[in-house]
Structure 1
Amino acid sequence: MTEIALLLFVIVMFLCSAFFSGVETGIYRLSRFRLRLGVEQGRAFYKQLSTAIADGQGLILSLLLGNNIVNYLATSGLTWWLLSYLKDENLAEFYTTIIMTPTLFIFGEILPKSVFFYRADSLIRPLAPAIWGIWRLCTLSGAVQLMRLLFRVFSRLFRIAVDTAAAVDITQRSQVRQIFQETRDEGLLTSIQKNMIQRLINIPEVSVGTVMVPMNKVEMAEINSNRSALLAIVARCPHRRIPVYEKDRSHILGFIDIYQTLGAGEEFENLRPFVQPLVRMDMSTSVLDAISIMRKGPHRIAVITASQAGLLAEQKKPLGILTLKDLVEELTGELARYEIASDQSKTSGQKSTW
């Protein structure tokens, strides 16, 4: 009878291990949109589940603690059960290791995690009372607070930097993506709105280095260009604003506005009177930061430079050109392009891209 009870105990602990492993994955995969909807509609168990999930770190620590405890109990129970037959401690420990290692790994970890990964919403809800009870027990007993304290102590001891703000930001963006994915087929938004929202969600991860125009594709004017040389550039270039360099294309002085330069109606031997300053940005700058910089200042063109430590912005190698239009297109999609055929384009009503 004792042997049967021990075997049943091991099986129960094994099922509990699968429960903890699966729920741990299910918590990450659970739809926050459906959870909030269930709370607002007063569905059973959703409020308790929402309360537990609100303390994300505490809930995960509770699940990990529970998983380790049941794994230890399952292993101890099997060892004890084998001892009743083998009468040899070393042999019992050996067979326990041979049996429990693959069994727990496959059926206590991989299989339940895979099932909960794809069926989180349908499986987590009926398990909500148990999940809430485990979290509440670990919280009231002080186990969660103790593990948090140990985590902080060891983090400082080993100088492990924990960027909580970044982790929260990534998690929240992931949840927004999930909510958007779940509601995009409801027909409330047009395809244009859907695309813009998708770009808005993804834009914090986009750097200016990925959206700039490479230097080898940028049409530029030399500082000593006269009116005729500038007209030749305008004939093949569709842009209103053109970067200006001196001697070497890597030495960018600023940019000129074609309308203002050619609209002056007078001959000129160089472009110095018309050169306007431009802003320089590191290639790792995010698109959102670039939009903020160019919106606050009178900047329409930015030079994107290489990430070279110890150098001033003017000394860094230019990699490309970025315009406000390029940044806006990351939200709106590709904008229409209008070409400037000559200095007459201003009077003909045509517009340029820069």
Structure 2
Amino acid sequence: MTGLVLSIVIATIGVVGSAIFSGLETGLYVVDRVRLAVRAGRGVRNASALEAEIERPERLLSALLIANNAANFAGSLGVAAILSTFVVSDWWVVVLNTIVVVPLLFIFGETIPKDLFRTRADQWMLAFTPTLVFIRRVLTIVGLVPLLGIVAKIVQSLIRSPQGIDPTARARVSRLFRESAESGALTEEQLDLADRVMSLRRLTVAGEMTPWRQVVTATESDIQRDASRLARRTRRSRLPVLGPDGRVVGIAAVQELLLGGRPVEDVLDRAVIRFSPETPAMTALELLRVDRRPIGIVEGTDGRPLGVITLKDLVEPLLGDLRAW
């Protein structure tokens, strides 16, 4: 009788454990990260702990995978022990174990808890956070989580293409925005703007600049001869001014040129911001904003101009076409 009671306890622990770990896995995917961040900011301890765990989802998923498999094994072992108490034939034990365990674990250990956690993720994930953290720490200390992580990295290195999954923080933030939109925390317009921000971080000035062959330029002697004629040659508000060697020595405002009859030094701004073609668009935007400059020059390693980049060029990937700039 003692053996039967122990078998029932093991089977119960296995099924309940499978239900909890399966539900936590689903809850991890659907929990509203924005609401979680708000609660963490308000000092809710479980929210802060869960947010910290979610920062490394691969570690958390590894722990849940190991724990869920261990629970399934315990449930199967317990049911088999119960059946062996009443059935003499080993063959019938195997058959009945399959008939009983598969529906039991599938319904009560997988389907029902996953559905419950899917609809109550924001509340239940916080309630089970201490359990989740404890399990993850134990499995990490015994070495199972690090071992599974190493195996996963080896497999990923073998099957991942050069255009594979981006594991960076940018990808995680983008996924966070999409999950928030699906839960209703963000509108489609806000999600679209967030996607544009994420895309902007991958852009460089070389892809957004106006090529040099399309840029209207002037020389210092041109400004001295007929500044107003130069102003009529372009629709832009500023002109790059070239020195004798063909390199940019300054920027002239068309408005200043239209006034006419002014010395070159009065209309020429020699504090030019220069970028290499590989400069990230976000970096260029920040530099122009801080220095309050509307335009910068993109140059090669030899100092030759390759194009011009303006604030308009840099904000259009975020806001769309700005024809009335």
TM-score, structure 2 normalization: 0.57
| Counterpart among 218, 234, 237 of residue 234 in structure 2 | 237
Structure 1, residues 109-163: CA drift from partner, whole Å, max 9, x if none? 7x689857963xx245246544533533654xx44444499469969x99x9xxx
- Kindly report which structure 2 residues correspond to 1:284-303, keeping only aligned pairs within 5 A, or say none: 285-287=280-282, 289-297=283-291, 299-303=293-297
Contact 2:196 2:318 in 1 (8 A): no
In 1: Cα distance, 2:206 partner to 2:118 partner: 34
Residue in structure 2 matched with residue 221 of structure 1 by the alignment: 217
| 3-state secondary structure, aligned to 2:303 | helix
| 3-state secondary structure, aligned to 1:23 | helix
Residue in structure 2 matched with residue 66 of structure 1 by the alignment: 67
CA shift, 1:215, in A, is 1.7
Residue in structure 1 matched with residue 160 of structure 2 by the alignment: none
Residue in structure 1 matched with residue 134 of structure 2 by the alignment: 136
Structure 1, residues 43-64: CA drift from partner, whole Å, max 9, x if none? xxxx574254144157555433
| 3-state secondary structure, aligned to 1:314 | coil
CA shift, 1:241, in A, is 1.2
In 2: Cα distance, 1:53 partner to 1:336 partner: 46
In 1: Cα distance, 2:277 partner to 2:286 partner: 14
| 3-state secondary structure, aligned to 2:215 | coil
Residue in structure 2 matched with residue 347 of structure 1 by the alignment: none
In 2: Cα distance, 1:125 partner to 1:267 partner: 71
Pair 296,127 (structure 1): closer, same or farther in 2 beyond 3 Å: closer
Q: Which amino acid aligns with 2:280?
A: T
CA shift, 1:290, in A, is 1.4
CA shift, 1:66, in A, is 1.6
In 2: Cα distance, 1:322 partner to 1:81 partner: 75
CA shift, 1:321, in A, is 2.9
TM-score, structure 1 normalization: 0.53
In 1: Cα distance, 2:276 partner to 2:67 partner: 50
Q: Which amino acid aligns with 1:312?
A: T
| 3-state secondary structure, aligned to 1:321 | strand
Q: Which amino acid aligns with 1:324?
A: L
In 2: Cα distance, 1:54 partner to 1:266 partner: 62
| 3-state secondary structure, aligned to 1:265 | coil
Q: Which amino acid aligns with 1:256?
A: I
Contact 1:22 1:116 in 2 (8 A): yes
Structure 1, residues 309-353: CA drift from partner, whole Å, max 9, x if none? xx83736x93x531123335566665563xxxxxxxxxxxxxxx5
Q: Which amino acid aligns with 1:239?
A: R
Pair 312,260 (structure 1): closer, same or farther in 2 beyond 3 Å: same
Q: Which amino acid aligns with 2:216?
A: M
Note if 1:312 corresponds to 2:301: yes
In 2: Cα distance, 1:210 partner to 1:108 partner: 54
| 3-state secondary structure, aligned to 2:251 | strand
* Structure 1: unaligned runs, 5 residues or longer: 161-165, 186-193, 306-310, 338-352
Contact 1:211 1:326 in 2 (8 A): no
| Counterpart among 232, 248, 251 of residue 253 in structure 1 | 248
CA shift, 1:285, in A, is 0.4
CA shift, 1:239, in A, is 0.6
In 2: Cα distance, 1:167 partner to 1:148 partner: 24
Pair 254,79 (structure 1): closer, same or farther in 2 beyond 3 Å: farther
Contact 1:244 1:256 in 2 (8 A): yes
Q: How many residues align?
A: 293
| Counterpart among 270, 276, 282 of residue 281 in structure 1 | 276
CA shift, 1:279, in A, is 0.9
| 3-state secondary structure, aligned to 2:276 | strand
Residue in structure 2 matched with residue 29 of structure 1 by the alignment: 30
In 2: Cα distance, 1:210 partner to 1:117 partner: 47
